[in-house]
Amino acid sequence: LSHYIKNILGGLEGSVSLLRMGIDASDDSMMNEAWDTLDKNQKRLSSLMLDLLNLAKEDSIDLGMCDFCDVISEAVELVRPSAREHGIEIDFDSRGALEEPLLAEIDSRGIHRVILNLLRNAVDAVIERHHGTDQGRVSVEIKAENNGATLILTTVDNGHGIPPEQFDRIFEMFHTTKGDRGTGLGLAVSKRIIETHRGTLSVSSQVGVGTTFSVRLPTRHLDTSTSIINITDL
Ligand SMILES: Nc1ncnc2c1ncn2[C@@H]1O[C@H](COP(=O)(O)OP(=O)(O)O)[C@@H](O)[C@H]1O
Ligand SMILES: [Mg+2]
């Protein structure tokens, strides 16, 4: 993680000096290059900070009623442009066979974070395996069970897959196979957010075939017992 942070800080520092030079020399291409690096690194930094903030929170969530489909759509649309840059389409049929909104009592920002992390991992795995081809696939599916009392979200990719002996380790904090490009926080924070909702996050995967992550979430938290309390914005 320290390498990852140092990379970001180095990128920010470098782009700020480059921007200064570009401005002094009225050099548009230098300014544009500086802006690209600045943009990329501020996104990485804010994503890292959000994961860290989520990990630093007590086991508490800010529950509110919302349409689960909207939360997923927002996250999908955020990841879509960078996936497209690598020739990857994210399939998500926001309504599918559903006619009614999928109302759920969830911490929408937390669940948004989970979906982003799952999608970014799927895209990373697909890029690594299908780099430079158009064979990469990522899809998101949702369904309801138990008369709407449980929502199930699955992300499916045909990336490089995960060997079974790593199934437990991937949820550990700081476990990453991406070297300096990974933080190893995404799945740890996601699992924690889901479990605070009293849901489950599980994985099934086959090396060379792909990976599926499944989130099961209860849609109601009628018994607001002690472990679930509302906290104000961080
Ligand atoms: N969809 C996936 N396909 C293959 N490997 C995955 C997938 N999602 C997660 N992993 C593995 O789990 C590890 C931990 O993921 P994560 O906690 O998000 O950290 P990071 O993405 O920073 O490495 C990844 O480094 C990768 O090895
Ligand atoms: Mg990740």
Would you kindly state where each structural domain of the chain is located, as residue ranges?
2-56, 64-218
The span from the CA of 116 to the CA of 2, in Å, is 22
Query: Which of 58-67, 170-179, 224-233 is the most confident on average?
Result: 170-179
Of 16-20, 95-99, 181-185, the one with minimum mean pLDDT is 95-99
Determine the residue of 176, 189, 209, 214 to mutate for testing ligand 1's pocket, defined as the one with the most ligand atoms within 8 A of the Cβ atom. 176
From 127, 34, 27, select the one nearest 85 (Cα to Cα): 127
Q: Which residue has the tokens 């970014």?
A: 120
User: Higher confidence at residue 222 or residue 80?
Assistant: 80
Give per-residue pLDDT as tens, 15-63.
999 999 999 999 999 999 999 999 999 999 999 998 888 888 766 778 9
Statement: residue 228 has pLDDT above 80: no
Around ion ligand 2, residues with a beta carbon closer than 5 Å are 121, 186
If pLDDT is split at 50, 70 and 90, which confidence band does 230 have? very low
**Considering only CA atoms, which residue is closest to atom 12 of ligand 1?**
170
Q: How far apart are the first and last CA of the chain?
A: 23
Q: What is the DSSP string of 78-102?
A: HHHHHHHHTT-EEEE-SSTT--S--
**Residue 191 Cα to chain centre, angstroms:** 12
pLDDT band at 140; cut points 50, 70, 90? very high
- Which among 196, 201, 189 has a CA at the least distance from the CA of 226? 196
**Residue owning the nearest CA to atom 9 of ligand 1:** 121
Place of tokens 């849901």: 199
For residue 6 the two structure tokens come to: 């140092």
Considering the chain, what percentage of its residues have pLDDT values greater than 90? Answer: 75
Give the pLDDT of residue 226. Answer: 39
CA 12 – CA 158 distance, rounded (Å): 34
* CA separation for the pair 24, 30 (Å, rounded): 10
CB of residue 71 inside a 6 A radius of ligand 1: no
pLDDT higher for 146 or 95?
146
Q: What is the Cα–Cα distance from 216 to 123, expressed in whole angstroms?
A: 21
Ligand number nearest CA of 187 is: 1
Cβ pair 78, 117 in contact under 8 A: no
CA–CA separation, 71 vs 76, rounded Å?
A: 9
Q: Of 138, 160, 168, 140, which is closest to residue 152 (Cα–Cα)?
A: 140
What's the pLDDT at 93?
83
CB of 125 within 6 A of ligand 1: the answer is: yes
Q: Is residue 192 within 8 Å of residue 173, measured between CB atoms? A: no
- Is residue 223 over pLDDT 80? no
**Range 153-177 average pLDDT:** 95
Fold of the domain built from segment(s) 64-218:
Heat Shock Protein 90 (3.30.565)
